[in-house]
Structure 1
Amino acid sequence: MPRTSVAVIGSGVGGLTAAHLLQRSYDVTLYEAAPRLGGHAETHTVPDGAGGSVAVDTAVMMVHARGNPHVMRLLGELGVTTRPLGDITLSVTCAECGFANPDAHDLHRPPPRPQAMPAAAWQRVTEQTKRFSDELATALGAGAADRTLQELIDAGQYTDYVVGHLIMPLMVTMGLVPADSVRRFPLGHLFETLDHNGVLAGDSGWRSIVGGTARYVERIAARLTAVLRSTPVRSVRRTARAVDVRDATGTVRSFDKAVIATHPRQALELLADPSDGEARILGSFHYAANPGVLHTDASVLPSAPGMRRTHNYRQQSCHPANATPALSIDLNRLQGITAAADHIASFNDEARRAAPAAVIATLGYEHPAWTPESAAAQRLLPLLSDHRLAFAGAYHHAGGYHEDGCLSGVRAAAALGAPW
């Protein structure tokens, strides 16, 4: 008797995890629109500046031993090793007023006082910053997870200076969405974002994947029945006996089951006959794009002593209009890479500061822009998957990180009869 056939559409961590688990019992065909598999698991092999090469990750740059239990289990099954790293740290600089905070990831650690600000005024700034951190924790403890960040800011009557230089840079950097979007973040999702990045606990359980995230992508793909790269899917139609998948060439293949592991709006566009519930729930999610470059131009990093961190945020003015994450990430420092050349990922405005001759690759990632509406829709996502068609993606859980995508793949596979 032939084995049950399953199509998995999308090769991000959700689709790959689902495919890995389903392949144990079924024949799995993986569809990917791009030539490269992996989604945010993107590894570049680049010169190390000394005649050799080094593997550098530019989206999923590390995993957390405590906060990523499903990812760690997946890596263990695949025989992919990790190595310990230090903390995630953040510096913030403002070109207009000269503000410089080398420890912006810690709201309880006061930054150096700008020379132009009187000591008494600066004392009020640091007191407000600590109070914000405490009020965030109190609001979550009081069950106010659906309140937005802006509501918390308004209730606390924080000054524009505190919001613009201490609160928003941290939130924009960790959320990876523009300021207007992060202001609408429900506090529950914001908490997950900060906790994932070690801001709340201050722990240092971060690890990098030896050889890059491409290692686990390659090992999963090698075990699948079929992998169709550069094969965009145009429609998924449920019939009485099958799930028909039509690709960009017009080829239609019939499968017994399927997983759609794309961004939610793409999933909705693929469905030939979406239900009202699918249209309403999947249509509630929005994403923010973060164009960037991988490069070797260290001039984009802070030059002042003690200011260079793993993450380096720079704003042009004290009151930037809907600030995007103007961010440069020191990948050598973040991933424990020993190389003569600096390897840096810069996004949005920072990407434009990198010297063109130093650019190794262009980058383009999108991240969920959480809203009260999308948070409500997220709670309904489990209703969409059944024994024939399941959905996966990092948008299914918590803050939309790699662990969330992996967990969604686990649950999609379980819905189709392949529990872990």
Structure 2
Amino acid sequence: MKSQSFLSDLSLSAVSAGFISVLVGYASTLVIVLQAATVSGASTEMLESWVWALGVGMGIGCIGLSLYYKRPIIVAWSTPGAALLITSLSGASIGQAIGIFVFVGVLTLIIGLSGWFDAITRRIPLPLASAMLAGILIQFGFNIFGSMQVQPLMVGIMFVTYLAAKRLLPRYAVVAVLIAGFVSAYYLDLIKLEHVAWSVATPVWVWPEFDINLLVGVGLPLFIVTITSQTLPGIAILRSTSPEKLPVSSLISWCGGLNILFAPFGAFALGYAAITAALCASEESHPDPKKRYIAGVSCGVFNILAGVCGSAVVGLFAAFPGAMVAALAGLALLGTISGSLVSAFQAPDYREAALLTFLVTASGVSFFDIASAFWGIVIGIIALAVSHTRNKSQRV
């Protein structure tokens, strides 16, 4: 019966949403991950192992959790964490780097089991969470038109296709944009496949080495960056798109467990996704929220394929023009951006605090290596508290 239910829930729009999320993730940030691996002293075999560990780890998490909870639960690597590693791992051995990854996984598992992260995020008002989400995603909307300046014909075709499909076939609008992007890029000779070398990755186990200075100096910042810049907005997306309560603590615990399991092979920081989760949880994935879990399963399958293919995926995703990937992501997220803005500014009592949250998050400002999403929520909550205090004093 479960297999029949799964087959009846299958849809092209949800499967394509999963593919687009993997395409956007790998094409836009994989180079940062590989650079972090190179800085840590990883060999060519280890580079492939990192891709394998991340792809398979994320894939298992996406498939297992999405099927169990019937929601698009997306596990992803921490892109801000990878950027942090580029500047922090110089001089560390590959074994010490692996020790840091295990340490981050243990910390993630602890906060999941303790339940404190779930308790804190439940106190964030929905308008502020929506404003934070809009602030994160707004850059993707801007990228549509930035990409149009780079490749006007290709992105123009994608944009016109989106507008037409939203009117004629709204459920398959993003699928139509994906096809239009591939076809136009192919005929414009913008897809470069000559550097793709098909091979299967071989995982390489590295015994972790624990250096207390590196654990404190690199491990703790990596953990904090992952939680504040990715997991926090990811949970906001989960709560804003899911009609039913989901056990956040359990989800975070699973991420920590997967991180520990795949860390010796190169998985540096796995957490709940933000941007790719927004792609899979949007209305474009499926009109029925209860059938969007297919996008999560699809994302997991494509992640595993990307991980197993190893070095080939690096060349494959690099073969697609950046303008196409950026425009595709922006168009796929338009509905989520619109919904987040409406939710953020609908309630008059929250508007000022939501606006500040949105502006701070969208600015990209960072203090102490902690991303703007965290500071946006902090400033929004402070503004909300001051506003409520002012209103109470005026009533008195």
Q: TM-score range with shorter-chain normalisation?
A: under 0.3
> What TM-score, normalized to structure 1?
0.22
- Structure ranking higher on relative contact order (CA contacts 8 Å, 6+ apart): 2
The structure carrying a bigger strand percent of its residues is 1
With normalisation by structure 2, the TM-score equals: 0.23
The structure with more helix, counted as a fraction of residues:
2
